[in-house]
Chains A and B, each alone.
Chain A
Amino acid sequence: MSTLVLTEAVADYGHQRVLGPLSLTLQRGERVALVGKSGAGKSSLLSVMHQHWRSRGAALMPQELGLVPSLSVFHNVYMGALATHPAWYNLVTLAKPFRRDVAAIRPLLARLSIDDKCWAMAGELSGGQRQRVAAARAIHQGGEVLLADEPVSALDGPQSETLMIELTQAYPTAVLAMHDVELALRFTDRVIGIADGGIALDAPSVRLTAQDLLPLY
C-alpha cells in the first residue's frame, strides 16, 4: 500500500453525529498523532479508519484493549496471527500451543517485560501488563498500519518509552491517539488535532510544541 485514504467519513451514535464528514490521506511510512480533548472524537475516528482499512491490513489497539480474560497471555498475543493459520491449526493451539509459535512469541513478550506472565490468564494481570499484552498482539499481527488508542496510558515513564519504541519499530505507518502530548510529538511526524468532530489542525510535528496544541484542549 502506498496511501490510505478516508473520504467524507462520518461516525454516528444512534441519531447523533459525533464525527465528520472529514477526509484525510495517510502516506506509507507516515506516523500520525491524534490529539484532542476527551470526547472530541479520536476513538471514533480510529474506529472509522479501522472499518475502512481493516481489509488492507490495519491493526487496531482499542482503549479497552479487547483481551479475552479467560485465555492466557500467549493465546491473546497469538490471536494477532489467527488469519495466517488454517482453522484446525488455531483450534489445536487453543488446547496445546505449537512450539514454533511459542518460540516466536516469547522473545516479543521478553522485550516488553511480561515474559514471566506468558501462561497467566489475561484477566489476572494489572492494567499496565494488559496494555503491554494488547500491544504485543498488535505487533505480532504484523499489519500494514497501526491504529492505537492510548497505547501507553497505563504505563510509567520508562515502560512507555520502551513500548513506543517497539510499536514504532514494528509499524512505520501508524495513527496514535494519545493524551501525552510530549510523547506524541517525539515519536510522530505529523499531528492531526480533532475538535468538535472535525480536523482543527494538521501539521508536521517538528514545527509544533506542546504549547501550540493547548488551544485544542
Chain B
Amino acid sequence: MWHSATVRLSLGFVALAVFCLGIADLSITAHDPWHELGRLVQGLVQPDVSAVDDLWVALLRTLAFAFVGVGLGATAGFLLALVFHSRLVRGICAFVRAIHELFWALIFLQFFGLHPLTGVLAIALPYAGVFAKVFAEILEETDPLPERVLPAGSGRLSTLAFTRLSEAWPHLVSYTSYRLECGLRSSAVLGFVGMPTLGFYLESAFAQGHYDTVGALLLLFYALIASLRLWVRPLLVPVYLVVAPFCLGSGLPIVWSNVSRFFTEDIVPSPLRHGEGVSGLVGWLGDIMANEALPGIWQTLVLTQIALVLTGLLALALYPLVSRHFFQKRDFQRAFCQRLPFRQHLAVAKGHSTGSGRPGNRLAHLLGHGLLVIMRSTPEYLLAFILLQLWGPSMLPAVVALAIHNGGIIAHLVGRRSNEVRLRQDAPHGLERYAYELTPRLYGPFLALLFYRWEIIMRETAILGILGITTLGFYVDSAIQEIRFDRAMVLILITALLNIGVDVLARHLRARLRLRHTANCEP
C-alpha cells in the first residue's frame, strides 16, 4: 500500500490536516448554540413571506445582477479566449480570476459606491477570467480537420464560425449555464457587502433575530436555484439578457471625483504619498508582511488544509446517496425475484415502476438528492455567516461551511461518475460494495476533483475573513474600514499571488499523479 503515490499523498494531506487541527482555534463560543439552531429550524419550517417589503424586488435584483454579470463575463471571456495564445492575456486572466468577487466588490465600492456597476463588475471581471480559460480549453479541443478541408479563400470569420465555433457551441452553452448558477450564488452573497440582493436582507433579518424572515429568504433562494432549469430556456435567455440591465435598480449615483481620487491618492502607498521614498516603502511593506500578510497567509493555509480534508471525507461519505449502486429510484432486484406476470416484468425492464418497489428506497433517493442539492446550492459565505451566528466567532463555522458546500459538490460529481461504473452481477452489496468495488475505482477522479477544488477552497477561505475569522480577508476588510486602501490593495495582491501559487501546485500534483480532468469538471 505504501508503494502507491496516491495513498502516500492522501495520507500526507490527512496528517497535515490533523497537525493544523492542533493549532487552529475550533471552539464554540456562543452562549446557547442549540437554542439558536432550534430557532433557525423553526424559522425554516414556518417561514414568513410577508415580513420583508421588497422580497420580490430583492429576488429580481439578485437575478438581474447574475444575468448581467455572467452575460458580460461570458462575452468578454469568449473574446479573450480567441486570443488566449498570448502570454500576457493568460497572465491577466489568471490574476483577475484569483481575486474573489467579494474582494472586487470591496474595491469597486470605494469609488463607484453603491451603484449597480459595482455589483455587475464584481461578478463580470473574475468570471471573464474563468470563462476565458475554460472557453480557450474547449476551443483548443475541437477537431482541426474541417478547417483544412474548406476551400481556399473561405475567409477567416466564416471559417471560424463554421468549424471551431460550431463544434464548440454545445460545450460553451452548457458551461455558461452552469456558471449562471454560480452567478446566482455570487449575486446573493454580494448583498452582504451592500448590494441590494438577497444577502443584504438575510444579514439584516439575522441581525434583528427575525428567523422566520430568514427562513423565507433561504427557501426562496433554494427554490430559485432548484427551478433554474425550468425557466432558463434557450429561446428565453436573450429576452432575460435584454431585460436584466433595466432591473438592476438605480442605486446611488457615482461621484466621479471619488474615482480619480482613488486611483491617484488612495491606493498610492502612504510612504510614497508622504515623500519617504523607496526606503520608506520597503519598511512599510515589511510591516504589512510581518503583522498582517504572514499571519493571514498562515491562518488561511491552516484553515484550507483542514477544510480540504474534511471536504474529502464528507464527499466520500455522502456520494453513495446519489449513486445508483446504493439507492435506486426503482427496486429492480425485488421485482425480478417475485413472481410477476410477464407484462410487469417487461415494464420493470423498461424502467417503469411496478408499484412493488420499496417506497422507502425511492424516498431515500429523493432525500439524498435533495440534501446534496441544498449543500451545494448554499454559498459558503452564507453558510459560514449562519454558523457564525449560531456558534460564535472561531474557525469552526468556516471549516464546516467550506466542507458542507464543497463536499456537496464533489459528492454529487463522484456520485454521477459512479453511475457509469458497471459492476458484475455477483458483486457484494452494502459496505463491502462501497469499500471494495466502488471507492477504489472512483478514488482517482475523486482526487482530481478535490485538487481542482483546492484552489477554490483557498479563495473562499481568504474571503471568509470578512466575517471576522483572521484569514487574509479579515486584514483586507480591516484596512478598508480604517480607510487605508493602499494596505488593502497590497493585501489583495498577496491573496491573488497565494491563490495562483496554490493553483500551480494543485496542477503539478495532478500531473504527477497523472490524474486526468476534463473541461467538464467545474472549476
Contacts and interface: CB of A to CB of B under 8 A. Distances in A.
Nearest to B165: A94
Given A68-B166, A69-B167, A70-B169, A141 B151 contact: yes
B151 A90 contact: no
Interface in B136-193: 143, 145-146, 148-155, 157-159, 161-163, 166-167, 169-170
Contact of A60 (B143, B148, B155, B163): B148
A67 interface: yes
A67 B146 contact: yes
Given A70-B167, A83-B155, A75 B149 contact: no
Contact of A59 (B151, B155, B159, B169): B151
Contacts of B148: 50, 60, 62, 66
Nearest to A50: B148
B520 to A, nearest CB: 16
Contacts of A141: 151
Contacts of B167: 68-70
A138 to B, nearest CB: 9
Contacts of B143: 66, 68
A68 B157 contact: no
A102 to B, nearest CB: 17
A79 B161 CA distance: 11
Given A60-B149, A66-B145, A66-B146, A90 B166 contact: no
A82 B154 contact: yes
B88 to A, nearest CB: 28
A83 B162 contact: no
A97 to B, nearest CB: 13
Contacts of B163: 68
A91 interface: yes
Nearest to A123: B167
Interface in A77-99: 79-83, 85-87, 90-91, 94
Nearest to B151: A83
A32 to B, nearest CB: 20
Interface residues on B, range: 20 to 34
Contacts of B169: 70
Quick one: which of B145, B146, B157, B161 has the most chain A CB within 10 A? Answer: B146
Contacts of A82: 150-151, 154-155, 158-159, 162
Interface residues of A, number: 31
Contacts, number: 74
A83 B157 CA distance: 11
Contact of A62 (B149, B154, B157, B158): B149
B153 A83 contact: yes
A83 B152 contact: yes
B519 to A, nearest CB: 16
B145 A62 contact: yes
A83 B149 CA distance: 12
Interface string A43-58: 0000000100011010
B155 A79 contact: no
B171 to A, nearest CB: 9
Contact of B162 (A57, A60, A68): A68
A203 interface: no
A188 B338 CA distance: 67
A204 interface: no
Contacts of A68: 143, 146, 162-163, 166-167
A96 to B, nearest CB: 14
A81 B161 CA distance: 14
A65 B47 CA distance: 60
B158 A80 contact: no
A61 B148 CA distance: 10
B134 to A, nearest CB: 18
A8 B155 CA distance: 30
A113 to B, nearest CB: 22
A34 to B, nearest CB: 18
Contacts of A55: 152
A62 B166 CA distance: 20
Contacts of A94: 161-162, 166
A61 B162 CA distance: 17
Contacts of A69: 167
Quick one: which of B146, B151, B153, B167 has the most chain A CB within 10 A? Answer: B151
Contact of B145 (A54, A64, A90): A64
B82 to A, nearest CB: 16
B339 to A, nearest CB: 41
B403 to A, nearest CB: 39
Given A66-B148, A70-B167, A70-B170, A79 B153 contact: no
Contacts of A75: 162, 166
A105 to B, nearest CB: 15
Contacts of B161: 90-91, 94
Contacts of A86: 155
A91 B165 CA distance: 12
Contact of A79 (B150, B157, B170): B150
Contacts of B145: 62, 64-66
A70 B162 CA distance: 10
Given A70-B167, A82-B154, A83-B152, A90 B146 contact: no
10 contacts: A60-B149, A66-B143, A66-B148, A69-B167, A70-B167, A71-B166, A86-B155, A90-B155, A90-B157, A91-B157
Given A70-B169, A75-B162, A82-B162, 13 more contacts: A59-B151, A62-B149, A65-B145, A66-B146, A68-B167, A69-B167, A70-B166, A70-B167, A70-B170, A71-B162, A82-B155, A90-B161, A94-B162
Q: Which 3 A-B pairs have the closest CB atoms?
A: A66-B149, A66-B145, A90-B158
